[in-house]
Structure 1
Amino acid sequence: MQWLAHGFHGEMKYMATHGTRRARPAELVPGTVSVITARMDYLPRDTPLDDWQAVEFDRLTRPGEAIVSVYARGRDYHKVLRARLARLAERIAEEVGPFGHRAFTDSAPVLEAELASRSGQGWRGKHTLVLDRSAGSMFFLGEIYVDMALPESEPVTAHCGSCSACIDVCPTKAIIAPYRLDARRCISYLTIEHGGPIPLELRPLMGNRIYGCDDCQLICPWNKFAKKSALPDFDAREGLTGQALASLFAWSEEDFLRFTEGSPIRRIGHERWLRNIAVALGNALRAGESGAAEALATRAAHPSELVREHVAWALAQQPESASAATPAQTAGWPSPTT
């Protein structure tokens, strides 16, 4: 509640609206006695596990390349995980008979990370995400609220130790203290949840990230042990990996809807998509990327005031008037703390 009182949730008003119900399962779903938690790995099947973090960091050093968060490159996880939870509930019913239940996949005001950590899925890292010694943090969380008593799982011990890599690497310094995130500064929040203009002081820090940000997970030593998904659903779809910013900026709304069908990206809409890419193109222009100005000029008279303003800002980011952004650092990997 203190986190909400400080306004760190930004425009995510549902978090404040539901108040204590988020922390009290029986108030959110009357009759709930226990909560079953689950997780699902999401690294694409072709991920090179020996150096996948370095590969992703390297992408961030290419100013003209559009970076979409790893989790969003495949199918919308809500649909995949929801179907799996439904099947799990069916299997439980086959064993115990009909029972009251409701599944959640980041689809309601549920304290997912807290429930996961309390039930032994992992511990809360300093970036606030759930970490597991054998799988890192590259997994989705889901829950089934049930109306029957189940044995409690024991929470696991935290293993972050003195490591502060996630805090240090955050481009916008959104992790303001260990275990405390100011969502209003988080690139994932800014590119996905935030609907208005992106704060001017944060735009240069966003680099080429157009949907989400993985930096705090990429630097985490425990993600050396991240697992690949066994499902094709999370394989990166064509058009969302290794693409030029200018190419994605040229998408019409029809293109956007077609290429993001079944993707979590679709929820932000074409206007925000262009807003995000305009910022990235501005940063690319500052870094001397050829073609950035030409791409931006094509949207200078866009019907949306939001898009026009971000394009105007981006066009003003000339190399002679602003210094190039500092490339992501890939050296000096921290070691897991036991």
Structure 2
Amino acid sequence: LGWIGRNSCLIVPGGGSYYFISVIFSRLALVADLPVMADHCPPSCNKCLEKCPTEALVAPGRLDARKCIAYHTIENKGEIDQAVSEKNSEWIFGCDICQEVCPWNRRPRGARRPIGEINSVLNQLDRAGWLSLSHNEFLEYFRKTPIHRTGYQRLMRNVEACLRTGDRAEEEKGA
């Protein structure tokens, strides 16, 4: 399929790292592709390691999930680690910084952002809208999106954590 980049994501040649991997079961005889073995990251590029806000990329290709915003906002069913939360004032579901700075993602095939109605919802909700989001609204807006996977309670936990961090940052600027 590709190789594991310095951002610890699978990078598909000509397409970048914005992919979901899936499986198709078939009885058809299919010809296998040749494996992609080598790391094709530009030798001097370390943008993903340098830009990670929580330093979760501890070495090229090595991710410490305990520090990763994406892990905490999607997978973590408990409390968000305070050290991670203090560095996150904008990501309520995942974090793509290591992918956004990757040169392989300059022109990926296909869509790499939520599209259509979900973009509209995300752009329209302000602070009050997020804080007053009901469970029914969550289902209406996000039922057929990856955000639904995290669940209403955890999404609201993420929203509140981001807002607290943003509020602290604003207070520090004003002080």
The TM-score with structure 1 as length reference comes to 0.46
1:195 aligns with 2:41: no
In structure 2, relative to structure 1, the CA distance for the partners of 1:123 and 1:241 (3 Å cut) is farther
1:282 aligns with 2:164: yes
Q: Which amino acid is 2:18 matched to?
A: M
Q: Which amino acid is 2:2 matched to?
A: G
- Who wins on radius of gyration, i.e. which is larger? 1
Cα deviations by residue, 1:15-50 (Å, 9 ceiling, x for unpaired): xxxxxxxxxxxxxxxxxxxxxxxxxxxxxxxxxxxx
Cα deviations by residue, 1:187-236 (Å, 9 ceiling, x for unpaired): 1110111011111111111121101111001000111121234xxx9435
* Offset at residue 144 of structure 1 (A): 2.6
Give the aligned CA root-mean-square deviation in angstroms: 2.3
Q: 2:144, 2:117 → 1: CA distance?
A: 12
State, as a whole percentage, how many aligned pairs show the same letter: 36
Match among 86, 90, 97 for residue 208 of structure 1: 90
Q: 1:255, 1:172 → 2: CA distance?
A: 31
- How do residues 22-41 of structure 1 correspond to structure 2 at under 5 angstroms? none
* Offset at residue 175 of structure 1 (A): 1.2
* Offset at residue 146 of structure 1 (A): 5.0
1:172 aligns with 2:54: yes
Q: 1:172, 1:197 → 2: CA distance?
A: 16
Contact 1:249–1:274 under 8 Å retained in 2: yes
1:153 aligns with 2:33: yes
In structure 2, the residue matched to 1:220 is: 102
**Structure with the largest fraction of strand:** 1
SS at match of 1:176: strand
* Offset at residue 148 of structure 1 (A): 7.0
* Offset at residue 158 of structure 1 (A): 2.4
In structure 2, relative to structure 1, the CA distance for the partners of 1:147 and 1:227 (3 Å cut) is closer
127-136 or 236-245: bigger deviation: 236-245
Q: Which amino acid is 1:287 matched to?
A: A
In structure 2, the residue matched to 1:263 is: 145
Cα deviations by residue, 1:87-123 (Å, 9 ceiling, x for unpaired): xxxxxxxxxxxxxxxxxxxxxxxxxxxxxxxxxx222
* Offset at residue 269 of structure 1 (A): 2.1
SS at match of 2:138: helix
Cα deviations by residue, 1:245-304 (Å, 9 ceiling, x for unpaired): 33212112222122212122122222211110111111221232xxxxxxxxxxxxxxxx
In structure 2, the residue matched to 1:123 is: 3
* Offset at residue 150 of structure 1 (A): 4.5
In structure 1, the residue matched to 2:12 is: 132
Q: 1:287, 1:127 → 2: CA distance?
A: 27
Cα deviations by residue, 1:156-210 (Å, 9 ceiling, x for unpaired): 3421123211111111111111111122211111011101111111111112110
Contact 2:68–2:84 under 8 Å retained in 1: no
Structure 1 runs of 4+ aligned residues shifted over 6 Å read none
Q: 2:127, 2:9 → 1: CA distance?
A: 29
SS at match of 1:207: coil
Contact 1:172–1:187 under 8 Å retained in 2: yes
Q: 2:160, 2:115 → 1: CA distance?
A: 27
Q: 1:171, 1:155 → 2: CA distance?
A: 33
Match among 65, 75, 80 for residue 183 of structure 1: 65
In structure 2, relative to structure 1, the CA distance for the partners of 1:165 and 1:206 (3 Å cut) is same
Match among 136, 143, 165 for residue 254 of structure 1: 136
Q: 1:282, 1:192 → 2: CA distance?
A: 18
